[in-house]
Amino acid sequence: MTGPVLAPDEEPRRGVPSATYRLQVHADFRLQDAAELAGYLADLGVSHAYSSPLLRSAEGSNHGYDTVDHAHIDEARGGREGFDRFVGALHEHGLGLVLDLVPNHMGVDDPAAAPWWWDVLQHGRASEHAGAFDIDWEFGSGKVRIPVLGSADDVEELELVDGELRYYDNRFPIAPGTGEGTPQEVHARQNYELVDWRRADSDLNYRRFFAINTLAGLRVEDPAVFDATHELVLRLVRDGAVDGLRIDHPDGLADPKGYLDRLAEASDNRWTVVEKILEPGEDLPEGWATAGTTGYDALAEVDEVLIDPAGEAALTALDTELAGERVDYAQLVHDCKREVTDGMLGSEVARLVRVIGDLPGVDTAQQTEALAELLASFPVYRSYLPDGREYLDRTVAAVRERRPDLTAALDALHPVLSQAGTEAATRFEQTSGPVMAKGVEDSAYYRWARFVALNEVGGDPTEFGSTVAAFHDAQRRRLERRPRSMTTLSTHDTKRSEDVRARLAVLAELPGEWAGLVRGWLTRHPLADRSLAHLVWQNLVGAWPLSRERAHAYVEKAAREAGTSTTWTNPVQEFEEQLHALVDVAYDDPATTAEIEAFVARIAPLGRSNSLAQKLLQLTMPGVPDVYQGTELWDYSLVDPDNRRPVDYALRRELLARLDAGEVPEVDETGAAKLLVVSRVLRARRDHPEWFAGYSPVEVTGSGADQVVAFDRSGEDTDGVVVVATRLPARLADQGWGDTALQLPNGAWRDLLTGGRVVSDVAGIAADALLAKLPVAVLVRD
């Protein structure tokens, strides 16, 4: 089948997007469905659709990050026919496509669906695809260990069916000439060994994505593997069907810089961003061939400027009361990461020990302990030697001070781990990222419930809010260093949607009121794990009203991720029953339901003000803004899969048409006010990129000066938009604007959102007049 016919004006599509719109494509929202949205996306104002992975993935996958065959568009998602229809519709409306690409790993849950993996299992080291996977053949005695059995005794359950080895519904190949005898005898002759699933923590011999046994790591540092896994995508780039790329999990790659260099050359330097999570103060390595990150760093900057630091003491006191002691977050993170190194990623640590080999005067136990301590203490996801060498040096020094008993092992390991490009150093780098992700995002974030609005990917929960001046400094750095990096507020991986966090931010302004409610609920409805109960109540209030089913699904996942009272691998039924009973009282106990609804009614309008402010900041700050599907209206979603629910696009089309007919909406439950902000700013970015060329703070004076974030995007030779956003809305509700004013050059200004006109004179522009209709404004010279 031929590719789509290119529109004559393809060059704008192949440049830097003005804005993107993320679509989660799956069997229930296929490419054909996405094609029907092209006109709406163009009307909304984006320049590019931004799709989740589209290559053939595991059967039933709703995310696409488990590619099984890189040579085909996934048939369940619409296949090549659907893809061509989607791209054709985008081109018809002048839109481009950014595609999510997964180079680090491949789905192997069903070997029969993954041709490369099937061939490796069948032919072992002799397979033409053996080099594509990161397998330690020696440790497996020449076999790949597959942790799929319910117990070691389950080898007796194996069957021979149609020339394959079967374990219940699991199918495995049989090497040529080895199919005679009992199923157990046949199994013993294979190039793989089926083992108890519990052995994955200690005896696995292939690299995985995090601790997911069904995602096997790929060696894209091998040019042949790169070429084979990227042939289709790069052909789509050359044919003009794909205009930009998002690279999933670059931290898993052996050589991220080399990969990006090769990709840039092969894609003719298409706009490319990487899913790299930066810790506060960390920057991307200078030499990477990428426009920047997927935006978690921007998310943190926006979130923090809208949080009131004055609430920290009271919320810390409440957390200390509930936990029984003041939580040392740094120690909590360390302990969570040690649980990962000593548990689910024990196989990766053990492989690192094998790669390093014997160290003079250091036994295996000491080497293992020292490596685990280094991994648990590493302050960022990983280094990219020689970039990031300072993090390794700093970590070695810190561990040496804390654990003098490991001095000999640390002294021996330090030079080994410092040698860029060696297998030992590379594997340490590939392991530190998963340890951070599983220990922090998927553990500590669920255990520390002081203020969960801050427990977000790319953030630092100990940084309780920031100043307006700090926000301005961050944006000037962004403009100087990575002006084409993506910005975002919600993704398929965020722990809570942007609007849940915006509502929860109000708790920092009302900490005493919140503490009183929580104490009352815990008194009437106790749960032994009081910190987890606090997390539950925050999320219920943040997402309310939500269905009982959604609430139950969330708390079960949260409790198992926290791992303090129940776990994924060992669910504690009695505790989980108590936890679900706690959720039920929110719906079934009239007094509790009434308290929740009354408090939500009080904070929801304040949360909407925060939502509009953060959305405006994200859409207008330096960078390429992304809108996650559905979030152009209020979206009160929790962690996946809750954030992948269907989106009502008919409603969004209807509201957008009303706005285009001249309606200026109220800031109410419809979310039309948010759609107004999103559509008007996205259209301005698309139609007037010169309005977003520079960045300078706007002076705000008067009693409410600290409650405004304002900046001017004018360039050196061009006028730009002036952005005005309200912060700390609860304080504003109590105190009012008073004499607060924006100090802008004299003359007339027009608000792109309301169409209202204001005049700046010697006194500036009064905030109460400017923000009478909406808590945000976007001004241009009139």
Q: Is the model's pLDDT at 7 over the cut of 70?
A: no
Amino acid (1-letter code) at residue 313? A
- Over the chain, what is the mean pLDDT? 96
Q: Is the model's pLDDT at 6 over the cut of 80?
A: no
What sign results for the dihedral spanned by CA atoms 301, 514, 637, 753? Answer: negative
Per-residue model confidence (pLDDT) at position 742: 97
Query: Residue 665 is encoded by which pair of tokens?
Result: 């909406």
3-state SS, residue 107? strand
For 454-477, what is the mean pLDDT?
A: 97
**Cα 531-462-732 angle, rounded to 5 deg:** 95
For 176-204, what is the mean pLDDT?
A: 97
Q: Is the model's pLDDT at 719 over the cut of 80?
A: yes
Per-residue pLDDT band for 3 (boundaries 50, 70, 90) equals: very low
Per-residue model confidence (pLDDT) at position 242: 98
| Residue 634, C-beta contacts closer than 8 angstroms, at least 6 positions apart | 499, 608, 611, 669, 671, 674
**Residue-wise DSSP of 382-421:** --BTTBTHHHHHHHHHHHHHH-GGGHHHHHHHHHHHTSTT
Q: Is the model's pLDDT at 186 over the cut of 80?
A: yes
DSSP state of 53: P
For 305-327, what is the mean pLDDT?
A: 97
| Of 106, 147, 145, nearest in space to 129 by CA | 106
* 590-612 confidence digits (pLDDT tens): 999 999 999 999 999 999 999 99
For 717-736, what is the mean pLDDT?
A: 96
* 494-509 confidence digits (pLDDT tens): 999 999 999 999 999 9
CB 674 within 8 A of CB 771: no
Per-residue model confidence (pLDDT) at position 4: 44
For 220-230, what is the mean pLDDT?
A: 98
Query: Residue 75 is encoded by which pair of tokens?
Result: 């048939």
What sign results for the dihedral spanned by CA atoms 392, 394, 397, 400? Answer: negative
Query: Residue 1 is encoded by which pair of tokens?
Result: 């089948």
Query: Residue 145 is encoded by which pair of tokens?
Result: 């260990």
- Percentages of the chain per state (helix, strand, coil), in multiples of 5: 50, 15, 35
| Residue 747, C-beta contacts closer than 8 angstroms, at least 6 positions apart | 759, 760, 781, 782
Q: Is the model's pLDDT at 114 over the cut of 50?
A: yes
Distance CA 48, CA 18 (A): 8
3-state SS, residue 147? strand
| Residue 482, C-beta contacts closer than 8 angstroms, at least 6 positions apart | 284, 291, 292, 293, 623
Burial class of 650 by CB neighbour count within 10 A (0 to 12, 13 to 18, 19+): exposed
SS (HEC) of 522-569: HHHCCCCCHHHHHHHHHHHHHHCCCCHHHHHHHHHHHHHHHCCCCCCC
* 569-598 confidence digits (pLDDT tens): 999 999 999 999 999 999 999 999 999 999
Residues linked to residue 97 through DSSP beta bridges, in sequence order: 49
Per-residue model confidence (pLDDT) at position 263: 98
CB 470 within 8 A of CB 504: no
Q: How many helices (H) and strands (E) does the chain have?
A: 29, 27
Per-residue model confidence (pLDDT) at position 259: 98
Distances in whole angstroms, Cα of residue 87 to Cα of each of 51, 663, 749: 11, 32, 39
Per-residue model confidence (pLDDT) at position 13: 74
CB atoms within 10 A of CB 8: 6
What structural domains does the chain harbor?
10-104+220-293 (3.20.20.80), 111-217 (3.30.1590.10), 328-447 (no CATH), 690-782 (2.60.40)
* 643-694 confidence digits (pLDDT tens): 999 999 999 999 999 999 999 999 999 999 999 999 999 999 999 999 999 9
Distance CA 589, CA 614 (A): 35
Per-residue model confidence (pLDDT) at position 89: 98
* Percentage above 90 pLDDT, the chain: 98
For 572-581, b where at least 16 C-beta lie within 10 A, e where not — what string? eeebbebbee
Q: Tokens 């209206």 — which residue?
A: 633
Per-residue pLDDT band for 10 (boundaries 50, 70, 90) equals: low
Q: Tokens 């160290």 — which residue?
A: 359
For 625-652, what is the mean pLDDT?
A: 97
3-state SS, residue 310? helix
Q: Is the model's pLDDT at 637 over the cut of 70?
A: yes
Backbone φ, ψ for residue 78 (5° rounding): 125, -15
* 237-275 confidence digits (pLDDT tens): 999 999 999 999 999 999 999 999 999 999 999 999 999
Per-residue model confidence (pLDDT) at position 12: 66
| Residue 143, C-beta contacts closer than 8 angstroms, at least 6 positions apart | 124, 137, 190, 191, 192, 193
Q: Tokens 């929801």 — which residue?
A: 604
For 123-132, what is the mean pLDDT?
A: 98
3-state SS, residue 148? strand
Q: Is the model's pLDDT at 1 over the cut of 50?
A: no
* 51-61 confidence digits (pLDDT tens): 999 999 999 99
